[in-house]
């Protein structure tokens, strides 16, 4: 297919130039957005009297046909075309002749591509949000089932204090809720229409830019034509938001991988969501979680690609900016692919409650509660901390736990201890008493679940 810009050139394009310059292999996925943008533009040109109303109608009708034909597979996109814009305009002109040639009046591929990416990414954000919401709901359901499932909470990967499995996984729901709101926020700045910016300097035609924006469901129009064509902040913002999503999924994955090990055995993944080894018959590997953790690097790389592509280019459009699409599409596709596999893996995994409870019984995770018991009897916290430290040392020496240490040993270290210490250090009670908002008690976890479910229904 011929280039759109042939007039000034005497020679044919070198194959090497064509291959290197072409973007159709990765921008053809924007065919629907490109056509819808052109339909809005053509309708506006007609309404504003810039082209003949009847010609505008013909263009709109033919573009609709082209869209349906591509969708149904009866029209193949020509992969020899320079880009999707060239292909669609070329196809239109092949069908309508002179009339087709009027479509590009008062438009440049620079504002056209800026429009197409915004439309494409707007749709991708909505799809990503849907998948994040599904994961949040699955986490909330799992949390509901595990509000009483005691497990050790960790710092430094050392058992620290008692929590529940519900509380632990609701931390991920909190992260994902922030991701949802970041996506919404990114969409706000993305949803501004650049069409009318022209190549860089706007146009002399009396465009109705608001009409185009309205037809395409934008919230407004850009106010500086140079910025309109050369702004890719919205790609960078989205890549950054997607990178954070991958950070969250990757941390969650790391925990799943640990919990699946024989060392932890806190969860068992469903057979349908794990893989085996070609040599070790006993193996059941958490490959999905490992791949999600591994793929996070691609998305961070995409963010770096975008930042680097944009950081040194003078206003306005430069061809460097064509690099935006592969990077941001890869980031979006990777995140969606990860969520598609990750969510059912979480949904179907079995929580091994007993193993969690047994792990919680070791590691003196109720030591803080023991110190708090002494505080309750009037001792300053720092002294209570020291006395409890001595108790823990004694337990380690005698191979006992705080639960099995006899009362007289307690009393030897501090005479404030009484029979009720055994109630105070009971793990179920330790968790139930953490009623503070944000804590692991059932009531506090209910607040978290309600907030997450609310974020899913509002956003």
Cβ nearer to ligand ARG, comparing 313 with 361:
313
Catalytic residue among 277, 441, 444, 457: 277
- Look up 156 and say whether it is catalytic: yes
List beta partners, residue 155.
158
Cβ nearer to ligand ARG, comparing 238 with 321:
321
Cβ nearer to ligand ARG, comparing 18 with 404:
18
Tell whether residue 368 is a contact of ligand ARG (CB under 6 A): no
Cβ nearer to ligand ARG, comparing 24 with 338:
24
Catalytic residue among 23, 108, 156, 225: 156
* Residue 288 tokens, joined: 């999905």
Looking from the CA of 223 toward its CB, the CA atoms found within 13 Å total 3
Closest approach of ligand ARG to the CB of residue 107, in Å: 11
Closest approach of ligand ARG to the CB of residue 94, in Å: 20
* Cβ atoms 201, 227 nearer than 8 A: no
Tell whether residue 121 is a contact of ligand ARG (CB under 6 A): no
Closest approach of ligand ARG to the CB of residue 320, in Å: 9
- Look up 41 and say whether it is catalytic: no
Closest approach of ligand ARG to the CB of residue 39, in Å: 19
Q: Which of 110, 164, 334, 368 binds ligand ARG (CB under 6 A)?
A: 110
- Cα–Cα dist 393/23, whole Å: 68
Tell whether residue 113 is a contact of ligand ARG (CB under 6 A): yes
Cβ nearer to ligand ARG, comparing 311 with 319:
319
Tell whether residue 83 is a contact of ligand ARG (CB under 6 A): yes
Q: How many CB atoms lie within 10 A of CB 41?
A: 29
Cβ nearer to ligand ARG, comparing 327 with 374:
327
Question: In whole angstroms, what separates CA 229 from the centre of its chain?
Answer: 26
Instruction: Return the residues of window 294-353 that contact ligand ARG according to CB under 6 A.
Output: 317, 319, 321-322
Q: How many CB atoms lie within 10 A of CB 384?
A: 22
Q: Which residue has the tokens 């632990």?
A: 168
User: Whose CB is nearest to ligand ARG?
Assistant: 322
Burial of 394 (0-12, 13-18, 19+ CB in 10 A): middle
DSSP type of residue 312: T
Closest approach of ligand ARG to the CB of residue 108, in Å: 7
Cβ nearer to ligand ARG, comparing 3 with 224:
3
Closest approach of ligand ARG to the CB of residue 109, in Å: 4
Segment interacting with ligand ARG (CB under 6 A) among 95-103, 105-113, 181-189, 273-281: 105-113
Tell whether residue 109 is a contact of ligand ARG (CB under 6 A): yes
**Binding-site size, ligand ARG (CB under 6 A):** 10
* Residue 37 tokens, joined: 């943008």
b/e per residue, 89-104, with b = 16+ CB within 10 A?
bbbbbeebeebbebbb
* Residue 418 tokens, joined: 């009484």
* Cβ atoms 391, 410 nearer than 8 A: yes
* Cβ atoms 210, 49 nearer than 8 A: no
Closest approach of ligand ARG to the CB of residue 27, in Å: 6
Burial of 353 (0-12, 13-18, 19+ CB in 10 A): middle
Cβ nearer to ligand ARG, comparing 41 with 109:
109
Tell whether residue 249 is a contact of ligand ARG (CB under 6 A): no
Q: Which long-range contacts (CB under 8 A, 24 or more apart) does 281-284 make?
A: 284/260
Closest approach of ligand ARG to the CB of residue 321, in Å: 5
Measuring CA to CA, how many Å separate 7 from each of 12, 109, 128? 11, 16, 43
Segment interacting with ligand ARG (CB under 6 A) among 106-114, 264-272, 399-407, 422-430: 106-114
Sign of the alpha-carbon torsion through 23, 25, 29, 31: positive
Cβ nearer to ligand ARG, comparing 80 with 443:
80
Q: How many CB atoms lie within 10 A of CB 308?
A: 12
Strand 192-193 and strand 220-221: the pairing is parallel
Tell whether residue 23 is a contact of ligand ARG (CB under 6 A): yes
- List the Cα angle 196/200/204 in 5-degree steps: 55
Closest approach of ligand ARG to the CB of residue 306, in Å: 13
Taking alpha carbons only, the member of 294, 288, 255 closest to residue 270 is: 288
> Which residues sit at the interface with ligand ARG, rule CB under 6 A?
23, 27, 83, 109-110, 113, 317, 319, 321-322
Catalytic residues: 156, 277
């Amino acid at each position: 297919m011929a280039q759109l810009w042939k007039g000034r050139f005497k020679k044919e394009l070198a194959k090497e130039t064509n291959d290197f310059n072409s973007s159709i292999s990765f921008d053809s996925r924007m065919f629907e957005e490109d056509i819808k943008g052109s339909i809005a533009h053509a309708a506006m040109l007609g309404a504003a009297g810039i082209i003949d109303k009847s010609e505008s109608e013909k263009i709109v009708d033919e573009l609709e046909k082209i869209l349906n034909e591509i969708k149904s597979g009866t029209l193949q996109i020509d992969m020899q075309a320079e880009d999707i814009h060239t292909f669609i305009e070329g196809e239109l002109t092949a069908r309508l002749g002179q009339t087709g040639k009027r479509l590009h009046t008062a438009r440049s591929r620079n504002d056209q591509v800026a429009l197409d990416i915004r439309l494409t990414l707007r749709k991708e954000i909505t799809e990503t949000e849907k998948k994040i919401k599904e994961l949040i709901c699955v986490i909330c359901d799992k949390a509901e089932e595990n509000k009483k499932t005691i497990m050790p909470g960790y710092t430094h990967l050392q058992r620290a204090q008692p929590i529940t499995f519900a509380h632990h996984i609701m931390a991920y729901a909190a992260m994902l809720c922030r991701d949802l709101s970041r996506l919404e926020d990114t969409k706000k700045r993305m949803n501004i229409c650049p069409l009318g910016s022209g190549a860089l300097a706007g146009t002399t035609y009396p465009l109705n830019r608001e009409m185009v924006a309205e037809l395409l469901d934008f919230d407004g129009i850009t106010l500086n034509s140079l910025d309109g064509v050369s702004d890719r902040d919205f790609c960078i913002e989205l890549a950054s938001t997607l990178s954070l999503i991958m950070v969250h999924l990757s941390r969650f994955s790391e925990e799943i991988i640990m919990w699946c090990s024989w060392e932890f055995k806190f969860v068992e993944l469903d057979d349908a969501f794990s893989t085996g080894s070609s040599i070790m018959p006993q193996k059941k590997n958490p490959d999905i979680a490992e791949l999600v953790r591994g793929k996070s690097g691609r998305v961070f790389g995409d963010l770096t690609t975008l930042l680097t592509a944009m950081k040194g280019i003078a206003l306005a459009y430069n061809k460097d900016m064509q690099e935006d699409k592969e990077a941001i599409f890869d980031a979006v596709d990777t995140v969606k692919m990860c969520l598609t596999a990750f969510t059912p893996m979480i949904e179907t995994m079995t929580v091994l409650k007993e193993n969690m409870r047994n792990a919680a019984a070791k590691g003196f995770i109720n030591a803080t509660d023991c110190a708090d018991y002494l505080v309750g009897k009037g001792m300053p916290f720092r002294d209570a901390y020291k006395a409890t430290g001595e108790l823990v040392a004694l337990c380690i020496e005698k191979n006992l736990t705080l639960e099995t240490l006899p009362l007289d040993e307690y009393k030897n270290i501090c005479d404030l201890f009484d029979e009720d210490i055994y109630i105070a250090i009971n793990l179920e009670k330790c968790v139930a008493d953490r009623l503070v908002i944000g804590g692991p008690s059932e009531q506090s976890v209910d607040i978290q679940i309600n907030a997450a479910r609310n974020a899913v229904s509002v956003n």
